A and B are shown apart, each in its own frame.
Chain A
C-alpha cells in the first residue's frame, strides 16, 4: 500500500520536466533544514528533490514502517480474506449465539451465532474499499476544482469559496443521515458518493491555497513568458509543486472516512446487512453488550487499529513533507 501511494507521486515529481523546480524546492528544503536539524549529517553529494528527501525520511521512520505494515496487511486480507479466515461471514448458527472463544472461532460468536473472527476479517474489505475510493474521489474532485479556482481566480474562485462555506456549515453525520436514509441501493457506492459530495470542499481549500502559492514562483512566470499554455503550466509546473499538502490531508482523511462509514453503518443508514461491515457488527452487538462484549470489542478494535494506521501514516508523511513542523 505505501508503495502504491508513494510511487506515483514520486513519478510525478520525477517526470515533471522539473529538474529546475525540484532543485529550487530542495534548495529551500536544505536551507531550512541545516540549522540545528538532525538531518545535517554527512556531505550531500547532490541536492535531492522534496520527494526523494521525504522518502528517505519515511524509510527510517518507525511510525511509517509500522503503519505501512498494518495497511499492507489490511489490503491483503481485504483482497483475499479467505487466506486467514475459513468459512463464510454469512454462515451463522443460532445455537452458538453469544458463545465465547473456542477452536475455529477465536473471537467467539455474536448474537446471531455468526463467527466474529470471520466477520471481522471480511469487514476489512468494506472499510478499505470505502476509504480508498472515497479518498481518491475527494482528492481528484477537490484538487481539480480547488486548483482551477486558485489558478484562474476571479468569479469562479469567489463562487467556489462561497460553495465550500456552505458545505462546511452542514454537519457531516447529519448530511449523511439525510442523504443516505432515502437510498435503497445496498452497496458501498452511495456511501462513497456521499463522502465525495461532502468531502471535496476540504481538499479544494487546501489545493486552492497551495496552487496560489506555487503560481507566484519564478519558474511559472518563466514558463508563461516562454508561451506555455495554461494546461501545460498547471499540469507540468504547478501541480507537482502543489500536490504535497493535498496528499497529506487526503491520507489523514482516509482514516476518517473509514471511521465515518462505520458510524453511518452503526446509525443504520450506511451499509446494511447482508453486507459485512465493522459498523454493522458493532451496532448489532451493542444490545448484547452485557452477555457478549467480545462481539463488540473485536470489530471495534479492528476499526480503531485501521483508522489509527491511516492517521499515523498521514502524520508520518506530513512530517516528511513539511520540515517546518519538526
Chain B
C-alpha cells in the first residue's frame, strides 16, 4: 500500500510539471503579460521594461518557470498585478468553490446513484426509458443554458431563490448553482450506475444473496451496489477536478466570487501569476482526487490489493 502510494506520487510529478508548464507557456507565449497593465493604450517602452524587470519577465522562459515553481513549493504564489498576493485571492476564492463542488458532488452521489439503481433494476420499464431520456436531454443542454434558465425561472419568475449569490455564498445559496454545475455529470453518473447495476444484477453472487433470503434492500446495498460502484467512483473522482475548473460558467451566471470568477478576471486581464497559480492548484486537486479514487477501489473491492 505505502509503496503503491509512493509510486503513484512519483508518477504524478511528470503530469504535474507537464500540465503547469503547458499553462505557463500558453499564458506567457500567447499573450503579453504587461499589456493588461496599461489599459487600452500600449505601454510606454520604458515603463514596460521596468515592469518586466520588476516581475522577472525579462529572463528566459524556462528560468521564469523554474523560479515560479520554486516559489510555489515554498508557498509563495506570487503577487497579482494589483499588488495583492495570489495566496490571499485563493484564500477567499477556494472555500467558496469547494462549497459549490461539495454541493455538486452530493447531488451526483445522492440523485445520480439513486436514479441509476432504480433504472438499472427496472431496465426497459417506463421509469427506465423516462429517466434515460431525461438524462439525454440534460447532457445535451449546455451548462450555461441550464443555469440561465433556472435563474430565469426560479430566481426571476417565481422568486424561490436569489438570482445572484451573496458574497458569503452559504451552502443554502449554493443549492441551485450546485445543481446546475452537477447537472451533466449527474446524468452521466445515472447512466453509468444503471449500466453497471444492470450488468451485475444477473451475476451469481446476487442470485445467492437472494436465495439465502436476504431482504431486497440489503441485496442491493450490500452486494449489488458495492460491486457496481467502481466505475461510478472513478467517474466522480475524475469529476472533482473538472467541476472545480468548470465552475467558471456557473460562477459567472450566479455571480459567485469563487475560483472561476478569479480565473476569468485573471485571464481577461492577462494576470499571469493569478492564472498560473490557480491552475496549478486545480491540477494538484485533480491528481490527488484521482489517487484517492484509486485507493478507494481497495475499500470497495477487497480483491484489489496494492503491493
Say whether A177 contacts B249, CB under 8 Å: no
Given contact pairs A300-B145, A304-B140, A311-B139, A293 touches B152 in the complex (Cβ within 8 A): yes
Interface residues of A in 274-326 (CB under 8 A from B): 282, 286, 289-290, 293, 296-297, 300, 303-305, 307-308, 311-312, 315, 325
Can you sample 5 A-B contacts with CB below 8 Å?
Answer: A175-B23, A177-B263, A178-B23, A178-B26, A304-B145
Partner of B267, one of A167, A178, A290: A178
Closest A-B pairs by Cβ, 9 of them:
A171-B245, A166-B18, A308-B140, A182-B31, A307-B140, A259-B142, A182-B30, A169-B19, A300-B145
A185 to B178, CA, bound (A): 35
A170 to B149, CA, bound (A): 28
Partner of A166, one of B22, B139, B152: B22
Binding site for B on A (CB under 8 A): 162-163, 165-167, 169-175, 177-179, 181-183, 255, 259, 262-263, 266-269, 282, 286, 289-290, 293, 296-297, 300, 303-305, 307-308, 311-312, 315, 325
Say whether B248 contacts A174, CB under 8 Å: yes
B68 to chain A, nearest CB (A): 16
- Interface centre among B145, B152, B156, B242, by most chain A C-beta atoms within 10 angstroms, is B145
Q: Find chain A residues with CB under 8 A from B19 CB.
A: 166, 169-170
Say whether A177 contacts B264, CB under 8 Å: yes
Say whether B249 contacts A267, CB under 8 Å: yes
Stretch at the interface among B49-57, B209-217, B279-287: B279-287
Q: Find chain A residues with CB under 8 A from B151 CB.
A: 289
| Other 15 A-B pairs with CB < 8 A, given A170-B22, A311-B136 | A166-B18, A169-B283, A173-B246, A174-B263, A178-B267, A182-B30, A259-B140, A263-B143, A282-B144, A286-B253, A289-B148, A304-B141, A307-B140, A311-B140, A315-B136
Binding site for A on B (CB under 8 A): 14-16, 18-19, 22-23, 26-27, 30-31, 136-137, 139-145, 148-149, 151-152, 156, 195, 241-242, 244-246, 248-249, 252-253, 263-264, 267-268, 270, 275, 279, 282-283, 286-287
A162 to B21, CA, bound (A): 14
Say whether B263 contacts A300, CB under 8 Å: no
Partner of A308, one of B137, B148, B287: B137
Q: Find chain B residues with CB under 8 A from A172 CB.
A: 246
Say whether B26 contacts A175, CB under 8 Å: yes
Say whether A178 contacts B27, CB under 8 Å: yes
A162 to B10, CA, bound (A): 13
A292 to chain B, nearest CB (A): 11
Closest residue to B195 on the A side, CB-wise?
A: A325
Closest residue to B259 on the A side, CB-wise?
A: A174
- Interface centre among A259, A297, A315, by most chain B C-beta atoms within 10 angstroms, is A259
Q: Find chain A residues with CB under 8 A from B143 CB.
A: 263
Say whether B248 contacts A177, CB under 8 Å: yes
Give chain A's interface secondary structure class. helix
Say whether B241 contacts A171, CB under 8 Å: yes
Q: Find chain B residues with CB under 8 A from A300 CB.
A: 141, 145, 148-149
A180 to chain B, nearest CB (A): 9
B198 to chain A, nearest CB (A): 10
Say whether B282 contacts A174, CB under 8 Å: yes
A262 to B249, CA, bound (A): 12
A58 to B136, CA, bound (A): 19
Say whether A169 contacts B287, CB under 8 Å: yes
Say whether B18 contacts A163, CB under 8 Å: yes
Say whether B145 contacts A170, CB under 8 Å: no
A160 to B246, CA, bound (A): 25
A237 to B195, CA, bound (A): 32
A266 to chain B, nearest CB (A): 5
Say whether B263 contacts A312, CB under 8 Å: no
Partner of B248, one of A173, A286, A293: A173
Closest residue to A260 on the B side, CB-wise?
A: B142
Say whether A174 contacts B249, CB under 8 Å: no
Say whether A181 contacts B268, CB under 8 Å: yes
Say whether B26 contacts A179, CB under 8 Å: yes
- Interface centre among B141, B263, B270, B282, by most chain A C-beta atoms within 10 angstroms, is B141
B143 to chain A, nearest CB (A): 7
B202 to chain A, nearest CB (A): 11
Given contact pairs A162-B15, A178-B275, A303 touches B142 in the complex (Cβ within 8 A): yes
Given contact pairs A162-B15, A181-B267, A296-B152, A173 touches B249 in the complex (Cβ within 8 A): yes
Q: Find chain A residues with CB under 8 A from B242 CB.
A: 171
Say whether B136 contacts A312, CB under 8 Å: yes
Say whether B287 contacts A182, CB under 8 Å: no
Say whether A174 contacts B156, CB under 8 Å: no
Say whether B152 contacts A289, CB under 8 Å: yes
A178 to B268, CA, bound (A): 9
Q: Find chain A residues with CB under 8 A from B23 CB.
A: 170, 175, 178
A315 to B132, CA, bound (A): 12
Say whether B144 contacts A182, CB under 8 Å: no
B20 to chain A, nearest CB (A): 9
A173 to B267, CA, bound (A): 12
A279 to chain B, nearest CB (A): 8
Partner of B142, one of A171, A307, A325: A307
